[in-house]
Structure 1
Amino acid sequence: MNKRQIKLSCYLDQINIEIIEVEMVLNQLNRLKNQMNISNRIVERDLLKTKCQLELSLAALCILLRKMCENQFIILNQERRKDINSIIHSNRFDFFEDDKVYVYSQKGQEEVNINQLLDYAKRIFKEIV
């Protein structure tokens, strides 16, 4: 393997890890929303923590995708690049039931569809592996 192939292999391994992480956090969010009647105070704290974990895992996935683009392993279209940059540069983050996040930055509020982003990352992983 040459240096470029080794680098690509490292990116793909990490992308797979981040995809799994984002999916686990989304599952946890859905599970917590179904438990809101149990003990709202405890569930709300766990929900807030899980939303923060989602923000961080999405940011990690987006950084990897952007690095892959910068190293010319993938090509990002303008809309995908906008979504990725919005997540990376956001200073506030809201999650909604329809698997959309609203990120807030100096540009204002922007909507990002998590499922589309995850599908794209999975497709990249499958196509290259």
Structure 2
Amino acid sequence: MLGLLLLLPLTYLVLAVARVQAASFAASLAGREAGRAFVTAGSEGEAHARAGAAAALAFADFAFDRGASVAVGCDGSPCLRPRAAVTATATIEVQLPLVPDFLAAHLPATVTIRSTSVVTVDRFAAP
């Protein structure tokens, strides 16, 4: 009986930590790949679309289809000028597993994971 009482909370803890760790990996990958896709694009319109698609693939790899977003910003204008710094920030709202709705209304049931990646445009890029 004591083993069961200790095993259930430990199992829940392992499930919750695994989900948060997966979100950490997904946010890191999404931010890095969105930045890389952005700086290798031919135009700014194409760059935003490529960054969004790259981040969506990274989020889907870890099954974070809802509650995930990516924002891309530049240090000046135009974004794709040589040696420009492009910042990609990926954010995921992780819903903790097995939290009932009546508890989620009164207690924090989500964890926000955020990762920022800074990528520099190639110095030989055509303006």
- The two structures share one fold, judged by TM-score above 0.5: no
Higher relative contact order (CA 8 A, sep 6+): 2
User: Quick check: which one's helix share is greater?
Assistant: 1
Greater gyration radius? 2
Query: Larger % of strand: which?
Result: 2
- TM-score tier by shorter-chain length is 0.3 to 0.5
